[in-house]
C-alpha cells in the first residue's frame, strides 16, 4: 500500500457535503457505520488481558504495562466507538497501548447502553424485493441509531469523562503526573477534540470544580496531547478552542467525517498555531483503525500504519 496522503487545504471552490440527514433521506448513510456499532472478527490468537473496575462509579477497562508500577507509565484515556467497553477488540486496543508503556483507562461512555449493531448485508445479485426490504431495514437502523445518539449527548458523556479523569488522577497519581494523553475512535474521537480544547463545562452539569472566587468552573484543555481515528458526529465548531496537540487519522471520501469538516478543522488549527498532523488514508473503510480482522492486505497494512501514527504522536508529546 502506498503511504497515506498528507491532507492539504482544499480549494475554496470545493463543494460541501449537502447530503440530507437520515431522517429526511432514508437512503442516506446512518450516523454511525457498521464498524462503529459492531466488531470485526477478533484477530486469531489475541485476547484481552486487562480488567474492568469502577472509577468514580463508572465501569472502566484498565490495562497496565507489564512492569508497572516498578517502571513509570503514562496515563492514557482511550475512548471507544459505539461497541463500548466490553468489546474484546476495544480491550485489545487498550492492551496494545499498555504494551507501549501507557496505563490505559477505557471508560464506559454509554453506561451499559452500547450501540445497536444490526447489520444489513448487501449483494448486487439480491432480488429487487429483497433490496427493498433491506432499504427499509437500513432506514429502521438509522432511526434506531438516531435514538441511541439522542441518549448519549454531551450532557451525558462529558460528565462521565470528567468523573473518570478525576478518579484516574487519584487512583494513578504517578502515571498522571506528567499529564493525561487521549486516543479516540469513531464516537470517541469527537470527545478527544472536546477534551483537548479550553472550553468550559456549563455550570448546570453535575461535575464541577471550585475556582479561587468560589464559583463553579471546569475548564480545559484536559489532555496533554490527543489522537483520533475516523471520528464521527464532528462539526467545524468542535475545533473551536482546541489547544492540545492533535493527530487525526482520516479516511478518504468519508461520509461520516466529510472533507469540508476536516478542512475547516485544519484551517482553524493552522490559523491558531495548534500543533497538529492529519493523514488521509485512501482505499480503507471507516472504522479500519480499530483492532479487527480484515482479509484485504491493504486495509491490514493501513491499520498498522494508523496505530503507529497515533502511538508515535502520544509518545512524542
pLDDT at residue 317 tops 60: yes
Report, as an integer, the average pLDDT of 128-145.
Answer: 53
The rounded mean pLDDT for the chain is: 82
pLDDT at residue 200 tops 60: yes
Q: Assess contact for 121 and 38: CB atoms under 8 A.
A: no
CA distance 295 to 257: 24
Q: Is residue 64 part of a domain?
A: yes
pLDDT in tens, 5-61: 444 333 333 333 333 333 334 334 445 666 667 788 899 899 999 999 999 999 999
pLDDT computed for residue 146 by the predictor: 78
Where is pLDDT greater, at 198 or 35? 198
Q: Is residue 145 part of a domain?
A: no
CA distance 191 to 184: 7
Report, as an integer, the average pLDDT of 89-104.
Answer: 98
What is the phi/psi pair of residue 170, to 5°? -75, -40
pLDDT in tens, 242-262: 999 999 999 999 999 999 999
Domain extent at residue 17: 5-116+152-316
Q: Is residue 196 part of a domain?
A: yes
Q: Assess contact for 266 and 9: CB atoms under 8 A.
A: yes
| CA distance to 46, 66, 191, 276, 289, per residue, from 54 (Å) | 25, 21, 21, 33, 27
Which grid cell is 109? 461512555
Q: What percent of the chain has pLDDT over 70?
A: 74
Residue 148 confidence class, pLDDT cut points 50, 70, 90: confident
Paired residues of 52 in beta bridges = 61
pLDDT computed for residue 8 by the predictor: 34
CA distance 7 to 71: 38
Which grid cell is 103? 496505563
Q: Is residue 122 part of a domain?
A: no
* Number of domains present in the structure of the chain: 1
Domain containing residue 274: CATH number: 3.40.50.1820
Q: Is residue 171 part of a domain?
A: yes
Helices (H) and strands (E) in the chain, counts: 8, 9
Residue 285 confidence class, pLDDT cut points 50, 70, 90: very high
27-31, 102-106, 111-115, 184-188: least confident range: 27-31
What is the phi/psi pair of residue 10, to 5°? -80, 150
pLDDT computed for residue 123 by the predictor: 43
Q: Which spans in the chain are helix H?
A: 34-37, 88-98, 128-151, 154-171, 173-176, 187-195, 259-271, 297-316
pLDDT in tens, 269-279: 999 999 999 99
pLDDT computed for residue 13 by the predictor: 30
Report, as an integer, the average pLDDT of 126-130.
Answer: 50
pLDDT computed for residue 149 by the predictor: 83
Q: Is residue 147 part of a domain?
A: no
Q: Is residue 126 part of a domain?
A: no
pLDDT in tens, 202-243: 555 444 444 444 444 578 899 999 999 999 999 999 999 999
pLDDT at residue 154 tops 50: yes
Q: Is residue 187 part of a domain?
A: yes
**pTM for the structure as a whole:** 0.81
Amino acid at each position: 500500500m502506498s503511504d497515506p496522503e498528507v491532507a492539504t487545504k482544499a480549494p475554496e471552490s470545493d463543494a460541501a457535503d449537502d447530503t440530507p440527514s437520515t431522517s429526511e433521506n432514508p437512503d442516506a448513510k446512518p450516523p454511525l457505520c457498521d464498524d462503529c456499532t459492531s466488531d470485526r472478527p477478533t484477530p486469531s490468537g489475541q485476547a484481552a488481558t486487562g480488567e474492568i473496575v469502577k472509577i468514580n462509579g463508572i465501569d472502566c477497562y484498565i490495562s497496565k504495562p507489564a512492569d508497572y508500577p516498578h517502571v513509570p507509565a503514562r496515563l492514557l484515556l482511550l475512548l471507544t466507538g459505539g461497541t463500548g467497553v466490553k468489546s474484546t477488540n476495544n480491550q485489545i486496543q487498550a492492551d496494545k497501548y499498555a504494551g507501549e508503556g501507557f496505563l490505559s483507562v477505557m471508560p464506559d461512555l454509554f453506561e451499559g447502553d452500547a450501540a445497536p449493531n444490526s447489520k444489513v448485508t448487501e449483494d448486487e445479485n439480491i432480488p429487487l424485493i429483497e433490496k427493498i426490504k433491506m432499504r427499509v431495514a437500513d432506514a429502521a437502523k438509522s432511526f434506531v441509531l438516531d435514538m441511541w445518539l439522542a441518549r448519549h449527548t454531551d450532557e451525558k458523556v462529558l460528565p462521565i469523562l470528567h468523573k473518570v479523569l478525576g478518579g484516574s488522577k487519584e487512583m494513578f497519581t504517578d502515571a498522571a503526573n506528567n499529564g493525561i494523553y487521549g486516543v479516540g475512535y469513531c464516537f470517541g474521537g469527537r470527545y478527544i477534540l472536546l477534551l483537548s480544547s479550553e472550553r468550559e463545562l456549563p455550570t448546570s452539569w453535575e461535575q464541577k470544580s471550585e475556582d479561587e472566587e468560589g464559583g463553579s468552573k471546569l475548564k480545559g484543555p484536559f489532555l496533554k496531547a490527543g489522537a483520533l481515528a475516523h471520528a464521527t458526529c464532528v462539526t467545524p465548531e468542535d475545533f473551536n478552542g482546541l489547544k492540545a496537540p492533535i493527530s487525526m487519522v482520516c479516511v478518504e471520501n468519508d461520509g461520516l467525517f466529510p472533507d469540508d469538516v476536516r478542512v475547516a478543522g485544519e484551517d482553524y488549527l493552522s490559523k491558531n498555531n495548534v500543533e497538529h498532523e492529519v493523514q488521509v488514508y485512501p482505499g480503507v473503510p471507516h472504522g479500519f483503525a480499530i483492532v479487527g480482522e480484515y482479509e484485504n492486505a491493504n486495509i491490514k497494512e493501513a491499520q498498522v500504519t494508523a496505530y503507529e501514527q497515533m502511538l508515535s504522536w502520544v509518545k512524542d508529546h
